[in-house]
């Protein structure tokens, strides 16, 4: 007999969207598990994972502003953004986790190194926008990766310290109640 398969751009786009969501979900899960194992704390792992969500929210907003479709290059940029957000947040979270470390001091200490990494990553990505032939493929990847780097930096410098200070206050209140 004969079989009929329906395909075309619509089916390919739907498969790409499904596979991209799975990859993004796995990336966020692996970030959470790695952070939980590294810090031995679910609360710290949740804080780091939340910074990755913040970076992805910023990437999503930029995608809407620029009208970037959810193609495979856009998914690659989103996965890069998750990795960068996790790396920034893990560096700061490890510093904050040190005994006696203050959250504001940790953010100040990590500001210049993370700013330098952010500027170097952006300066490496921006020349890719000048390549004419690869523009349809590289434009979404570069824009999403660049905004992911920027939002990851903002999340690690603003959101993560705020979450850590809230967590420290809760731990102090619990310690007072025990006494």
CB distance 171 to 105 below 8 Å: no
How far CA 1 is from CA of 4, 6, 64, 109, in Å, comes to 10, 17, 46, 70
What are the tens digits of pLDDT across the range 26-83?
888 888 888 888 878 787 788 888 888 888 888 889 888 988 887 778 888 888 888 8
Per-residue pLDDT at 172 exceeds 70: no
Per-residue confidence (pLDDT) for residue 80, from 0 to 100: 86
Determine phi and psi for 10, rounding to 5 degrees: -65, -45
How far apart, in Å, are the Cα atoms of 18 and each of 78, 108, 132, 146, 148?
A: 14, 40, 30, 24, 21
The pLDDT of 84-103, averaged and rounded, is: 74
Please name the helix (run of DSSP H) or strand (run of DSSP E) that holds residue 125, with its range, or none.
Answer: helix 103-125
């Amino acid at each position: 007999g004969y079989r009929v398969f329906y395909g075309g751009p619509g089916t390919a786009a739907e498969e790409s969207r499904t596979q991209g969501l799975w990859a993004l979900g796995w990336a966020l899960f692996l970030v959470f598990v790695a952070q939980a194992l590294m810090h031995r704390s679910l609360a710290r792992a949740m804080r780091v994972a939340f910074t990755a969500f913040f970076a992805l929210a910023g990437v999503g907003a930029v995608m809407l502003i620029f009208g970037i479709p959810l193609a495979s290059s856009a998914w690659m940029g989103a996965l890069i953004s998750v990795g960068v957000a996790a790396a920034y947040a893990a560096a700061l979270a490890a510093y904050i986790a040190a005994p006696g470390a203050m959250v504001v001091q940790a953010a100040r200490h990590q500001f210049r190194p993370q700013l330098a990494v952010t500027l170097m990553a952006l300066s490496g990505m921006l020349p890719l926008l000048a390549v004419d032939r690869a523009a349809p493929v590289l434009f979404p990847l570069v824009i999403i990766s660049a905004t992911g780097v920027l939002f990851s930096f903002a999340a690690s410098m603003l959101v993560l310290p705020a979450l850590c200070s809230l967590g420290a206050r809760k731990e102090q209140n619990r310690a007072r109640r025990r006494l």
